[in-house]
Structure 1
Amino acid sequence: MKIIDLLDTSRVSPFLAATDKKGVIEELADTLVRGSDTLDRNLVVKVLMERENLGSTGIGDNIAIPHGKLPDLKKLVLCFGRSIAGVNFDSMDGKPTHLFFLLMAPEESIGLHLKALAKISRMLKDSSFRRNLMEAADADEILRLIAAEDAKC
């Protein structure tokens, strides 16, 4: 599985403005549904907030991977967002979250959803990759960094 195949510049938000968890979820949902006539932004937000209520997807090291499943979704969809200031995302380590990969999967998918989450987690273990994502100038540079890391993992 190639994570880069799920992304393009329209699905990268290098300068999130939100200052809280719900705001980040809403802003990422806007990024995810941009250009899609099949994704319902309000449903995406509802599913993600319900998932967050079960336990934060902030995994530490300034990373969160909000994720959920949608009925009638035909394939995995992904977006990336970066908060320069950082957001309290109730992360396991209590630190602000800066890097967000939002993943939505078809309701009936199991294996593919878990493979994508695992691949994203592996990629983000590299502290130099995380630092490079934080320092990237724009969406194009972020995509190049993700593609290069994706090829290594």
Structure 2
Amino acid sequence: MRLSEYLHDDLILPELSAGTKKEVLAELVQAVVRRHPEVDAAVALGVLHDRESLGTTGIGDGVAIPHGKLANISDIVVAVGRSVTGIDFDALDMKPCHLFFLVLAPEQVAGMHLRILAHISRLLKDPQFRRAMIDAPDGKAFTALMRTT
């Protein structure tokens, strides 16, 4: 499985403008809505906020993987964003998050959703890969790096 199969260039955001957890989720969802107009932004944000209320998706090491399931999508959607400065995302290690992988899945799909989350986690356990993502000099380099996944 390759994560790049689920990533479209317009869903790779190398320079998030968000400054808060809420803004990160909104910015990622807006990118999804632009590409997938069938996604209701308010519903998607509600699902993500509900998931965050159960426990943070900020897994540590500068990484957050917000995720949820939606009734009105037919395929898994992945968006990735980067904040060079870092954003407080209530991460488990209490450090700012720099890399955000949003995963939205159809309600009826469980196996692939979990495989994608596991694949993202494995990729981001590699400190050199994380550092390369954070330190990519520009959007083009960041997007090229995401294409290798």
Shorter-chain TM-score above 0.5: yes
Aligned amino acid, residue 107 of structure 1: E
Please report the TM-score for the alignment, with normalisation by the length of structure 2: 0.95
Aligned residue in 1 for 2:22 = 22
Q: For 2:77 and 2:86, locate their aligned partners in 1 and report how far apart those are by CA, in whole Å.
A: 24
Tell me, yes or no, if structure 1 residue 74 matches structure 2 residue 93: no
Q: For 1:64 and 1:7, locate their aligned partners in 2 and report how far apart those are by CA, in whole Å.
A: 17
Deviation at 1:35, TM superposition (A): 2.5
CA-atom RMSD, angstroms? 1.2
Deviation at 1:108, TM superposition (A): 1.1
SS in 1 for 2:35: coil
SS in 1 for 2:50: helix
Aligned residue in 1 for 2:118 = 118
Alignment of 1:61-140 (within 5 A): 61-140=61-140
Q: For 1:39 and 1:140, locate their aligned partners in 2 and report how far apart those are by CA, in whole Å.
A: 27
Q: For 1:62 and 1:101, locate their aligned partners in 2 and report how far apart those are by CA, in whole Å.
A: 11
Which piece of structure 1 moves more, 51-60 or 9-18? 9-18
SS in 2 for 1:114: helix
Aligned residue in 2 for 1:56 = 56
**Structure 1 vs Structure 2: percent identity of aligned residues?**
44
Q: For 1:140 and 1:120, locate their aligned partners in 2 and report how far apart those are by CA, in whole Å.
A: 21
Which piece of structure 1 moves more, 92-101 or 5-14? 5-14
Please report the TM-score for the alignment, with normalisation by the length of structure 1: 0.92
Aligned amino acid, residue 96 of structure 2: P
SS in 2 for 1:34: helix
Residues 5-54 of structure 1: CA distance to partner in whole angstroms, max 9, x if unpaired?
11122001111111111111111111122222211111111110110011
Aligned residue in 1 for 2:45 = 45
Q: For 2:35 and 2:105, locate their aligned partners in 1 and report how far apart those are by CA, in whole Å.
A: 18
Alignment gaps of 5+ in structure 2? none
Give the length in aligned residue pairs.
149
